Amino acid sequence: MIDLKYLQNNFEEASVKLQKKGVDSQTLEKLKSLFAELKAANAALESAKAEQNSMSKLFGQYKREGKDIAELKAKVDANKEAMVPLQEKARQAEVALYEIALAIPNFPDDNVPVGEDEEENVELRRVLEPRSFDFEPLEHWALAEKNGWIDFERGVKLAKSRFSVLRGDAARLERALINFFLDTNREKGFEELCVPFMNNAAMLQGTGQLPKFEEDLFKIEDEDLYLIPTAEVPLTNMYHDEILSAEQLPVLMTGYTPCFRKEAGSAGRDTRGMIRQHQFDKVEMVAIAHPEKSDEIFEMMVQNASDILTALGLPHRVVELCTGDLGFSAARTIDLEVWLPGQNKYREISSISNTRDFQARRAKIRFKDGKKNRLVHTLNGSALAVGRTLIAIMENYQNEDGSIEIPEVLKKYM
RNA sequence: AGACAGGUGGCCGAGUGGUCGAAGGCGCACGACUGGAACUCGUGUAGGUGUAACAGCCUCGAGGGUUCGAAUCCCUUCCUGUCUGCCA
């Protein structure tokens, strides 16, 4: 959630920032006035409560002194009645405020390039030259078919469309990649965690998936549980409503989880192959950072993900997302896009974001800064999306006969 | 899943309707004592909101109710422990 006090005190500046993320100024005006309304309503209610409390305390005194309480009681009763509309007003203001506030995206950082959509993202650098083929490279689904690696039909039979089954060496390669990613992250100082694959609504609100994006999530029937769309949710919320000591920072965590997404709104996109599935494996990095250190950690996370691709010999490029392409919670995001020779284009394989204090405010993650509690910064990034890495290996390491080489660094895992 | 017992501050633990945001202890911080330390003694030590700073308001697992007044009484719910059942 954005800082409503900041919005109140720097309204012009704040609305310029949020317009870049597609929030119209009417909504912000409304939010601002609701915030003022809530403060006024609370002030009125609280002073009535203060009066009520102090009168109630007199009862004890009167009784001990044997005084008559009839008059006092009449006064208290009257005050109590007067409080009812104040209470209702404050409650309504609060509900109305949060309904809007929770749906407002994070401010983009000032130096994020301004743009409408992914067309205006900025390529920062390319790493490794794409290999040149002396034959026409195939797309991953064709290779999968040749090698019997992916059983799309049976995935659909078992579940529904956008599910698939990995078989034989593909299944082993998937597992090898997970182990390689986790080991690499661990060596960089990330603690390895194995977390629940279902989280409750409060956690999903903490990281920003709820309430706005419920239609993207798989919900468990009759339970306050959702299948996680990314390990960012459980890892970040590890410290939900906790206060860390300054010495604990940064908290660096990594974990493998499957991720579950309904992919609502991506009808017709990437329906062929394994690029966009309802369930996919991912190894995630999450950092809980001191606000002054989060930029540094962000760079480290980008570098780590890029290094993993380099170690696998996968050509990729580093792309800074423009304001229009930034996710809901992100202040800044860098995507890594891997080269897919079969598709003849770069495709997203990792997304690393700094959410600053946006998730921390929602999830109440703070640290002791001397005597004061301050919100931490939270960061997350894939290192890496496993299925897409598998695809990238298939397409980049294919031979003319359709066979696929295994990258050197993975051999010890297979 | 069923039966019973519980959920109080960083931790342990007292508190069954008012003077309780909460005794006592441990821990921690600061000070005194010491050459230095331990011991001992003294002082302080929850979070949120709010304020220029106070004040005020909210929080004793969570939500609701009774009452002028709730940590304390009632209802719902979640969690933990023990036993039974079931299971990897």
Binned at pLDDT 50, 70 and 90, residue A346 comes out as very high
Binned at pLDDT 50, 70 and 90, residue A62 comes out as confident
Nearest nucleotide from residue A72 CA, by C1' atom: B68
Rounded CA separation A381/A190 (Å): 12
pLDDT confidence of residue A84: 87
Answer yes or no: is pLDDT of A95 > 90: no
- What is the overall mean pLDDT for chain A? 92
The bases of strand B with some atom under 7 A from any protein CB are 18-19, 47-51, 56-58, 68-69
pLDDT confidence of residue A125: 97
Residue-wise pLDDT tens digits, A248-285: 889 999 999 999 999 887 877 888 888 999 999 999 99
pLDDT confidence of residue A157: 94
Rounded CA separation A338/A311 (Å): 13
Rounded CA separation A397/A385 (Å): 18
pLDDT confidence of residue A269: 83
Rounded CA separation A186/A193 (Å): 10
Binned at pLDDT 50, 70 and 90, residue A305 comes out as very high
| Distance, CA of A140 to chain centre | 29
Å between CA of A265 and C1' of B17: 57
Nearest nucleotide from residue A375 CA, by C1' atom: B48
Strands (E), A91-173: 122-127, 150-151, 165-166
Nearest nucleotide from residue A361 CA, by C1' atom: B48
Q: Which of A285, A342, A382 is nearest to A144 (CA)?
A: A342
- The tokens of A44 are what? 């009125």
Measuring alpha carbon to C1', the residue closest to nucleotide B68 is A56
Å between CA of A262 and C1' of B80: 35
Residue-wise pLDDT tens digits, A16-60: 999 999 898 899 999 999 999 998 999 999 999 999 998 998 888
Residue A111 amino acid letter: N
pLDDT confidence of residue A183: 97
Answer yes or no: is pLDDT of A88 > 90: no
Å between CA of A340 and C1' of B14: 68
Rounded CA separation A150/A250 (Å): 40
pLDDT confidence of residue A94: 87
Helix A169-187 vs helix A386-396: crossing angle, to nearest 10: 110
Residue-wise pLDDT tens digits, A211-253: 899 999 999 888 889 999 999 999 999 988 888 888 888 999 9
Binned at pLDDT 50, 70 and 90, residue A71 comes out as confident
Answer yes or no: is pLDDT of A180 > 80: yes
Residue A203 · residue A240 · CB < 8 Å: yes
Nearest nucleotide from residue A76 CA, by C1' atom: B68
Active-site positions of A read 261, 276, 348, 351, 388
Helix A140-147 vs helix A386-396: crossing angle, to nearest 10: 80
Protein contacts of strand B with Cβ less than 7 Å away: A 5, 39, 42, 46-47, 49-50, 52-57, 59-60, 63-64, 73, 76-77, 80, 243, 366, 373
Binned at pLDDT 50, 70 and 90, residue A349 comes out as very high
pLDDT confidence of residue A324: 94
Å between CA of A75 and C1' of B22: 29
Å between CA of A391 and C1' of B15: 64
Answer yes or no: is pLDDT of A64 > 80: no
pLDDT confidence of residue A143: 96
As a whole number of Å, the end-to-end CA separation of chain A is: 44
Binned at pLDDT 50, 70 and 90, residue A75 comes out as confident
Rounded CA separation A327/A168 (Å): 36
The pTM score is 0.93
pLDDT confidence of residue A273: 85
Greater pLDDT, A92 or A185 = A185
Q: Is this complex's ipTM strictly greater than 0.90?
A: no
pLDDT confidence of residue A90: 87
Binned at pLDDT 50, 70 and 90, residue A153 comes out as very high
Answer yes or no: is pLDDT of A340 > 80: yes
Answer yes or no: is pLDDT of A370 > 80: no
Q: Which residues pair with A348 in a beta bridge?
A: A337
Nearest nucleotide from residue A62 CA, by C1' atom: B18
pLDDT confidence of residue A378: 96
Q: Which residues pair with A354 in a beta bridge?
A: A332, A379
Å between CA of A81 and C1' of B14: 37
Answer yes or no: is pLDDT of A293 > 80: yes
- Dihedral sign for Cα A214, A219, A224, A227, please: negative
pLDDT confidence of residue A265: 79
Rounded CA separation A255/A282 (Å): 8
Q: Which residues pair with A375 in a beta bridge?
A: A366
